[in-house]
Structure 1
Amino acid sequence: KSPICIVVVSVPFSVVCGQRSSAVTNITQPRSRIVGGSPAPLGSWPWLVNLQLDGGLMCGGVLVDSSWVATAAHYGPSADVVMEAKVPLLPQSTCKSALGKDLVTNTMLCAGYLSGGIDSCQGDSGGPLIYQDRISGRFQLHGITSWGDGCGEKGKPGVYTRVSAFSDWIQTEIQSKFQTTRNTSGKGSSQLKI
């Protein structure tokens, strides 16, 4: 089984892939999960989604196309507000040393500070690890929040699914479903920047 799920959604608003919106509203007193982060201004990450079942939040995810969401293959309790934090990517050798060489595979990557204090946590599963391309300025999906050993613990970085390890599969899934959708509806678009 793949550690990434992709689902079809309907997006009722227009966003430009990889570009942040200007935000004017900030939410205070959040029930947050990200350790050491700050509330993200409302609308500042327009490609974030929450997936619900019977009106209750299951998990977060990230748009990888106008109608497709990538998320973790597991769900849990979530926060009331989107939080954001900047964390460095860590070398794979550091990740394996910190968390166990048998636990961290090549389809995973680690991000965070070995000193602790800033990290994703339970309830953040499915959310994106993104980076801003230095040349284009656009944001790109690099990882999907997966697991960790505690939250913000010293010597224990967060673990993310390495999206590049699954990009061919994601593209194939979107294209195969897109072909079916386009053939039956006569319209549609499919772009993915991962």
Structure 2
Amino acid sequence: MSHTISPVGWALQFLQEIESMQLLKSAFFHLFLLTLSCAAKAAQHKNVVCSHRPAVNEEEEDLSSEILGNHDADAGAWPWLVSVQIASKDGTYGHTCSGSIIDNYWVLTAAHCFKAKVANNVEKIMLVFGLEQISRFSKNTYARPVAEVIKHENYNPDTESNDIALIKVTDSILFTDYVQPVCLQNQRLDIAELKPCVTAGWGMVEGKGKRTDILQEQEISIIPTAICNQGDWYNGSLSDQVLCAGFKWAGPDRCQTDSGGPLVCKVLGAGKFYQLGITNWGLGCGQRVHPGIYTSVRKYIEWIQWKTSKLSEMQVGSERARMASSPLNINDGIHSQTFGVLTVVGLVILFI
């Protein structure tokens, strides 16, 4: 027995089919927009390179070790430098240590910055980016709360061995001309090929007096560990997990509240700075035959990768990008083709 659909029934069925198609189109279109958004974010992240210093004219920059001592740093000169600030009893935050940006969410610093009980409460810690003057925030300065602090499992506060820590922020770090990640040393470098090596911070000058208000920079030299381990120097106490840097005689050095800050050296072949060390300890500040001691970043690359799950493309791909002969590599082509296909598909879905 056959059934005949009435004109009204046929019309209702047709409207239902149209509605179903509209819902399907809407779902595909929203998926298309989401895919475009993710692709745009990925492209934006991919375009970020480490040790970029957009606020500095490096051709005119004068970093000379002929003039010893600390000097005011230009705004944006060291865009990866971070002020680690801890809240006091009255709720105000004060600079305690320094650190360096290595990724969108991670800052590298020293484990000994978190010896104090209050420093183990992430709610009491604030990271300040783009800071030039401790007493005054500029338009280039902003802060981020902390989500997590990871100290090395084998950190020894008595010997300061394995003095390295990672800080994760709650919200992604916004990269600007004054806030940028630093490249990490991931292979052995020839000391002769490193010039200049620079440290920067707001620490006390020569270990006495008040902390400096304006960011200070200074050029120092990497000193072979064999020399620093001599009897009248550090008498064999230095392991291969640290670097010795400063001057053979009295000269510039990092002092209190500079802990955790980066020691960076310019690699001549790469044309940009790489972080070799993390400010650790020393006997006094700038004293004769007692240069500063820095945790060697290269020795802890695998630990950093493990704790952060992975280094971002800006770190892992920095060497590949430097060695690439063409500005457009295979991955860029694939991303461009994928983006183009998605755009065409999205437009077809929108207008059918």
TM-score (norm 1): 0.73
Question: What amino acid is aligned across from residue 99 of structure 1 in structure 2?
Answer: Y
Q: Distance in 2 between matches of 1:190 and 1:59?
A: 27
Compute the RMSD of aligned alpha carbons.
Answer: 2.6
Shift of 1:16: 4.4
**Residue 100 of structure 1 pairs with residue 232 of structure 2:** no
SS, match of residue 52 in structure 2: coil
Shift of 1:47: 0.6
2:297 is matched with 163
TM-score (norm 2): 0.42
| The 10-residue stretch of structure 1 (157-166 or 92-101) with the greater mean CA deviation from structure 2 | 92-101
Q: Is the 8 A contact 1:59 1:123 kept in 2?
A: yes
Given the superposition, is the C-alpha separation of residues 155 and 120 from structure 1 closer, same or farther in structure 2, using an over 3 Å criterion? same
Question: What amino acid is aligned across from residue 85 of structure 2 in structure 1?
Answer: Q
1:44 is matched with 77
Equivalent position to 1:70, from 108, 123, 127:
108
Question: What amino acid is aligned across from residue 37 of structure 1 in structure 2?
Answer: N
Given the superposition, is the C-alpha separation of residues 58 and 15 from structure 1 closer, same or farther in structure 2, using an over 3 Å criterion? farther
Q: Is the 8 A contact 1:132 1:139 kept in 2?
A: yes
Q: Distance in 2 between matches of 1:15 and 1:57?
A: 28
Q: Is the 8 A contact 1:89 1:111 kept in 2?
A: yes
Shift of 1:22: 2.4
Per-residue CA deviation, residues 46-65 of structure 1 (Å, 9 max, x unaligned), is 11111122222221000111
Q: Is the 8 A contact 1:37 1:84 kept in 2?
A: yes
SS, match of residue 192 in structure 1: helix
Gaps of 5+ in 1: 1-13, 25-34, 179-188
Given the superposition, is the C-alpha separation of residues 190 and 56 from structure 1 closer, same or farther in structure 2, using an over 3 Å criterion? farther
Q: Distance in 2 between matches of 1:60 and 1:190?
A: 24
> Number of residues paired by the alignment?
159
Q: Distance in 2 between matches of 1:133 and 1:121?
A: 25
Per-residue CA deviation, residues 121-147 of structure 1 (Å, 9 max, x unaligned), is 122111100011111212111000101
SS, match of residue 78 in structure 2: coil
Q: Distance in 2 between matches of 1:129 and 1:46?
A: 13
Q: Distance in 2 between matches of 1:151 and 1:15?
A: 36
Q: Distance in 2 between matches of 1:41 and 1:130?
A: 16
| The 10-residue stretch of structure 1 (140-149 or 130-139) with the greater mean CA deviation from structure 2 | 130-139
Given the superposition, is the C-alpha separation of residues 174 and 191 from structure 1 closer, same or farther in structure 2, using an over 3 Å criterion? farther
Equivalent position to 1:133, from 267, 280, 289:
267
Shift of 1:100: 2.3
**Residue 89 of structure 1 pairs with residue 222 of structure 2:** yes
Shift of 1:163: 0.6
Gaps of 5+ in 2: 1-46, 58-67, 88-92, 115-201, 204-210, 319-352
SS, match of residue 309 in structure 2: helix
1:192 is matched with 315
- Ranked by relative contact order (alpha carbons within 8 Å, sequence separation 6 or more), the top structure is 1
SS, match of residue 36 in structure 1: coil
Q: Distance in 2 between matches of 1:52 and 1:167?
A: 25
Given the superposition, is the C-alpha separation of residues 174 and 154 from structure 1 closer, same or farther in structure 2, using an over 3 Å criterion? same
